[in-house]
A and B are shown apart, each in its own frame.
Chain A
Amino acid sequence: MTSADLHDHMLEVKDISLSFQGVKAIHQLSFAVSRGEICALIGPNGAGKSSLLNILNGVYQPDSGEVHYEHAHFSRLTPFEAARRGIGRTFQNNALFGKLAVIDNILTGLSRHSRVSVLEQAFGLPRARREAADFLQRSEAVLAFLELQPYRQTLVGNLAYGLQKRVELGRALVSSPKLLLLDEPMAGMNAEEKQDMSHFIRSINRDLGTTVVLIEHDIGVIMDLSDHVVVLDYGRKVGDGSPAEVQANPEVIAAYLGSDNGPLNTVH
């Protein structure tokens, strides 16, 4: 009996395969994410981590296999459907709306909650104004939580990379997702910024009860932050378990021997 059976699985990936023009990116991958945990995906560049996240929120369609999410199963999921079911997402190379201010970027995250018709918005009718005020309030709260208030009106395109990552997190967070998929939320950050970001992610997880799946290279951060680690190499799963288990797994260590950017090399 594995530990997985005891848990309430929010997300379960079964035998997923994906290839690009004949090149296998992901091969018969299965794993499960329990409700309320922080799950880290690790593995060298090109191991298929980002592709996996893209499958989880419908940007890519897997060639075969199924995704079970909240007791519903999908073989085809669209990005919109994923968002509607409460899956939030950030990207490795920030996918923000460059010509919009920080606050407007956050506000776009609420679009799927909008219930007011176009005509009501066009004529600025009371319901539209109430919703706008409500959205603004929710976005301001996210700005405050992520300490982004000083940049409220700055165009995102002009922000530093680390801050952009934070805005992207805010845009996903504002729609109150049940599951957050974070693709290298700390890439390119210095130690202090990483600490801030870890803190934000942990408090999103603890205080809001949001389940988090993240991709990260810094093993120190992973040991500190995650409850569960899945290791990928060449599109296959080579390790799955608690951070300590994974670190001790000989197969995982083997997968990283000789790999320059293997995360385990950074453990000291």
Chain B
Amino acid sequence: MSVSTQCALFSLSAAGWITRMRLQVGHWFSHGRVPYAWLVLSLVAVGVPLVSGDYWLNAILIPFLILSLAGLGLNVLTGYAGQTSLGSGGFMAVGAFATYACLIHFQLSFLLAIFLGGGVAALVGLFFGLPSAKIKGFYLMVTSLAAQFFLEWVFVKFPWFYNYSSSATISSPPITVFGWAIASPLSKYYLVLVLVSFLTWVAVNLTRSQVGRNWMAIRDMDTAAAVIGIRVHRSKILAFAISSFYLGIAGALWVFAYLGSAGVQSFSLQRSFQVLFIIIIGGLGSISGNFIGAAFISLLPLLLDFLAHTFFARMVDAGLLQNLQKVIFGSLIVWFLIKEPEGIARFISHLRGRLAVWPLRF
């Protein structure tokens, strides 16, 4: 009774109404059970491509989703379990080439092939994660570089992996999923959307479970983690495997849903850096951060391009623009590490907190 009276009084004032809306919105986004926010997001994810053109699908939305997935993979390892890796590109390559092998050499269906591809990547990741029992920090990071360079070499040196094609690249054969041909940009987008959504849901489950807590405990203090009975090495290796599984799926999608045909140079060390930047900018140890970071890294070049063409038409060439982009990315990385070490995801949640109480300060 008194509550409803208060509510009635409250809603008389416009400021009160705004506050309520803000608190409500903040509530949707800050808690696990967020039916409305999810509904809106899903509607956008499903609906936007219907009105946007093929260019947006092909050049922005599909790579954005795949990079988010790759970020998710690295974030499991680095953001949650605290093991820095520069081998993301290599594990993406394993996923792509293993999926290709399943499709071409073993004639498997696409979904089976891509999950097997992820599985192979997980095994390779597990293998390169084994040294984490004995070595830590930078030393372990160098192990990941060993993986990166070794894997790049493997997928150039052994023609079986690219079916003896003269260009040393793999090309996507026609793909069907449950009898549905994945050929148009829209169908590829939906395929990627479904896979990424599913894997994100799994990642959310994992990070909120005991497994995820073990990872974070190891990240924050591994000696203490061992003392309270966490199997530290097993947890680390699990993080390597799951991380590589996600990266492997992302790598396969990169070839089969985005580029159409690619060689190992699509998964070079530069790709590893890109994925690392996504999680630093988006937020280490955050699920939504991967999407924010990937969006940022996909959209920034477009924005720069647009600005350059609008204001300095013909004055800047492509090379200069590329260097400018590097400078901006580099500065942003440093800026984020200094000012917002937990990335844009945390920045937004702070902002939301402030917005929620803002009208009350009148």
Contact = CB atoms under 8 A, between A and B. Distances in A.
Q: Is the interface of B mostly helix, strand, loop or mixed?
A: helix
Nearest to A105: B217
A171 B219 CA distance: 17
B19 interface: no
A80 B232 contact: yes
B213 A107 contact: yes
Interface in B188-228: 202, 205-206, 209-211, 213-214, 216-217, 219-221, 223-228
- Residue of B211, B223, B232 most packed against chain A (CB within 10 A): B211
Interface residues of A, number: 38
A32 B224 CA distance: 26
Interface in A80-129: 80, 82-84, 88-89, 91, 95-100, 104, 107-112, 114, 116, 118, 121-124, 128
A97 B227 contact: no
Contact of B229 (A80, A104, A122): A80
Interface string A119-146: 0011110001001100100000000000
Contacts of B217: 97, 100, 108, 111
A73 B211 CA distance: 31
B220 A99 contact: yes
B221 A96 contact: yes
A80 B221 CA distance: 14
A263 interface: no
Given A124-B205, A135-B210, A89 B221 contact: no
Contacts of A175: 228-229
B205 A111 contact: no
A95 B224 CA distance: 6
B227 A89 contact: yes
Contacts, number: 96
A44 interface: no
A42 to B, nearest CB: 23
A104 B221 contact: no
- Residue of B209, B210, B228 most packed against chain A (CB within 10 A): B228
A109 B211 contact: no
A112 B220 CA distance: 18
Given A124-B205, A132-B209, A135-B210, A99 B285 contact: yes
A83 B205 contact: no
A118 B211 contact: yes
A61 interface: no
Nearest to A171: B228
Interface string B228-244: 11111000001000000
- Residue of B216, B229, B230 most packed against chain A (CB within 10 A): B229
Contacts of A91: 224
Contacts of B209: 121-122, 128, 132
A97 B210 contact: no
Contacts of A59: 223, 227
Nearest to A107: B213
Contacts of B214: 108, 111
B228 A112 contact: yes
B210 A114 contact: yes
12 contacts: A80-B226, A83-B227, A89-B228, A104-B213, A111-B214, A111-B229, A112-B230, A116-B210, A122-B205, A122-B211, A123-B202, A131-B210
Interface of B: 202, 205-206, 209-211, 213-214, 216-217, 219-221, 223-232, 238, 285
Shortest 6 CB-CB contacts between residues of A and residues of B: A83-B229, A112-B229, A95-B224, A97-B220, A121-B209, A79-B226
